[in-house]
Structure 1
Amino acid sequence: MAPKILFVLTSHSALGNSGKKTGWFLPELSHPVAELEGKAEIIVASPLGGEAPLDPNSVEPYEEDPASIRLLNELSHLYKNTSKLEDWVGKEDEFAAIFYVGGHGPMFDLATSTTSIALIKSFYESNKIVSAVCHGPAAFVNVKLSDGSYLVDGKNLTAFSDEEEVNFGTAPYMPFKLEMSLKEHGAKFTAAKELYGEKLVVDGKFITGENPASARAVGKAIAEAL
């Protein structure tokens, strides 16, 4: 029987007060799905359930990417019919891993979702794989463990860097600085040498990737950890 992985998508679709749309970022779902398909059963959830908003800006750059084309054309049910995150609270024993897809949306909802925070704590303390890519680690920022310490305290990890956020032009619309907040809570943060370069960090069963270019590597690392 294939192990089950809980993929978590944002339900948030507005980029701060910019008037622009956001959500989850296409290759950050399509590439891990491509790596894990056939190796695990993928369950997708979001805070509100139903259709999780795809960042429209993430489609055109990947219109010739096979994994992204397949997700949009053949696997759209994965993000158009998500379960509610709260449905999985207390059911971590059914899963081998939890994975947070990036995009700017998680900065606005998953970072402060009490349901998500409880799930991550439960998965981590049950010795499950806990993973995320790009802005997905926003979901880890406010997670505290049973001993009162922050989950990320002392962890080797990566995420979309503050320098990348500024360069991408989205820093003014973010509710907080992701890299800075992770560091403030004790994370040992590392980034790729070049902006938007691939960066994977594996710290035991804690797996993070920096940006869209790192999503496939995260998928492979989860597959190996399974």
Structure 2
Amino acid sequence: FTTPNTERFLKDEVASFAIQNTRVLRNINYNTFDAVFFPGGYGLLWDLASDSFVIKMIEDFAKTGRPIAMVCHAPGILRDVKKPNGEPFVKGVKLTGFKNSEDVEIELLHHLLFSLEDELKLRGANYISKGNWKPNVIVDGVLMTGQSPASAPPLAEALAKRLNDSKLKGNNKRLSK
């Protein structure tokens, strides 16, 4: 399954070089980044969702007002992220992510470590979804989420717009580096 965006990405020499030279996340100083974008995929439910480094990184991005973009299953990483007062980060926050009915449709829900939709609702998230496989982007403060693979392009565009608007307003001097 590919889209025009993934086909373009696979033919991009710079992207290929970056993939072949991927650095370990723990070895990156995330304080030099203006935003973070977590793509989806099932694997992150087993590793990133319980990774103390990733959880702290998200908490630090939120404290400093830097955008956190997540698509598909990536919002599952928020399961154990906390606000400074110890409450779940998602409590009272509008967001979206891959729906249970989407996982059921592809017969994977029963194989997952946890249901993204159920876990986020359990922690008080205001989970907002549209029809299966439809583009759906929800922005609430620093958190920017997309429901399904169809949401990746509009989510990336929303993040780029936020960063460009911030740069134009001079709100973040790091954006010009």
Question: Normalising to structure 1: TM-score of the pair?
Answer: 0.68
* Aligned pair partner of 1:181 in 111, 119, 123: 119
After TM superposition, which residue ranges in structure 1, 4 or more long, deviate above 6 angstroms? Answer: none
Instruction: Confirm or deny: 8 A CA contact 1:205 1:225 kept in the other structure.
Output: no
Of residues 172, 178, 181 in structure 1, which corresponds to 2:110?
A: 172
Given the alignment of the two structures, is residue 134 of structure 1 paired with residue 78 of structure 2, yes or no? no
Task: Give 1:123's match in structure 2, choosing from 40, 43, 61.
Answer: 61
* AA partner of residue 84 (structure 1): V
CA distance in 2, matches of 1:175, 1:196: 21
Deviations 1:70-111 (A, max 9, x none): 2112222333322111123xx443111011110111111111
**Which is helix-richer, 1 or 2?**
2
Q: Which runs of 5+ in 2 are unaligned?
A: 164-177
Question: What is the Cα deviation at residue 172 of structure 1?
Answer: 1.6
2 CA distance for matches of 1:165 and 1:141?
A: 18
Q: Where does structure 1 lack aligned partners over 5 or more consecutive residues?
A: 1-60
Question: What amino acid is the match of 2:17?
Answer: H
Correspondence for 1:219:
156
Deviations 1:135-167 (A, max 9, x none): 111111111122111111111000001111111
User: Aligned partners of 2:4, 2:118: CA distance in 1, in Å?
Assistant: 35
Percent of counterpart pairs with the same letter? 32
Aligned positions of 1:85-100 closer than 5 A: 85-88=25-28, 91-100=29-38
Paired position in structure 2 for 1:201? 138
Distance 2:82 2:75 in 1: 14
Q: Deviations over 1:37-68 (max 9, x none)?
A: xxxxxxxxxxxxxxxxxxxxxxxx21xx3321
Q: Distance in 1 between matches of 2:51 and 2:31?
A: 21
Partners of 2:19 and 2:93 in 1: CA distance: 30
Q: RMSD in angstroms over aligned alpha carbons?
A: 1.3
1:159 aligns with 2:97: yes
Normalising by structure 2, we get a TM-score of 0.86
SS of the aligned residue for 1:165 comes to helix
**Contact 1:200/1:209 (8 A) holds in 2:** yes
**1:102 equivalenced with 2:44 (yes/no):** no
Q: Report the structure, 1 or 2, having the larger strand content.
A: 1
| 2:16 matches 1:76 | yes
1:145 matched residue in structure 2: 83
Q: Distance in 2 between matches of 1:79 and 1:101?
A: 14
Instruction: Give the Å deviation of 1:204.
Output: 2.0
